[in-house]
Chain A
Amino acid sequence: MGDPGDDALLVLFANGDGQAARDLTGRLGPRTYSVALRVLGNRAEAEDVAQEAMMRLWQMAPDWQPGRAKVSTWLYRVTLNLCLDLKRRRRTEDLDAVPEPQDESPSVPERLQEAARIDALQAALMQLPERQRQAVILRHIEELPNPEIAGIMDISVEAVESLTARGKRALARALAGRRTELGYDDG
């Protein structure tokens, strides 16, 4: 028997199942935090947003109607809306968003190189217009299909394609001058 889906876990959670709470946190918590971190570019704010988004999931659980939508889609949407709310409240951007290093990363120099690349990507992402950044993150980091992104962002699939294409071009331009620095110009 396979693992229960998010729908089933949410029903179990609403019925008081403690293991379902742990499973849902393990499944959905990292993606919620990851999206918030990439969109906001600030770790502390991303933690606050991710915690609030999960809190809304817990509170919504008894009213969830299985089969109507994907739990993850609903959660991505709530997370992006919370990010937008936060950005409206603050206008100064904080680019200090160095994600936690992976425990099992290969070696110190490689890890530093990897961290530098992720930093550079994050800095370039923060230069994109809001909607382009959201679409690029959902498509190329979260690897969601375009129709799901369209549902999350409440736009057409064509609009998603347009946003991601323009976003990628802008990122490529922003990073073009840093190829050597990021270790892509060895030869």
Chain B
Amino acid sequence: MAENDTDLDALFAAARQERDFLPEDLAARMLADAQAVQAVRAASETAPEPAKRPGLWSQLGSALGGWRGIGGLATACAAGVWIGLAPPAFLPDPAELLYPQSDTDLFADLSLSDLNAEEG
């Protein structure tokens, strides 16, 4: 048994002689894989972030001419409301234009019985 063990140890030793061997073409393929993985990683790290689509308010702001445009629009709206509520003296009262008032009483001389007689 001891003899067999010695033989076996010698065989293991022979196999160990080859454990540090790597075929050249296999080493080249391993290295090529490594470089490819590194290249993919480097490309993903340096690639710019994909452009984000602007949001609704951003698009609206651009359409109205940016913050200056929006500011002007807000001022005009405020002025319009103020003129509506307290119009200057030289302008006609918009409420009166819509609902004209008259001092003349068309029915002043008529009594209720007259009105009833006309209908009847």
Contact = CB atoms under 8 A, between A and B. Distances in A.
Chain A contact residues: helix, strand, loop or mixed: helix
Nearest to A124: B11
A92 B11 CA distance: 26
Contacts of A25: 22, 27, 30-31, 34
Interface residues of A, number: 45
Contacts, number: 109
Chain B contact residues: helix, strand, loop or mixed: helix
A184 B15 contact: no
A141 interface: yes
A21 B19 contact: no
B21 A22 contact: no
Interface of A: 13-14, 16, 18, 21-22, 24-26, 29-31, 33-34, 38, 47, 50-51, 54-55, 58-59, 61-62, 99-100, 102, 114, 117-118, 120-122, 140-143, 168, 171-172, 175-176, 179, 182, 184
22 contacts: A16-B41, A16-B42, A25-B34, A29-B22, A29-B26, A30-B20, A30-B22, A33-B21, A33-B22, A34-B21, A51-B26, A55-B30, A55-B37, A58-B33, A58-B34, A118-B15, A122-B15, A141-B12, A141-B19, A172-B5, A175-B11, A182-B7
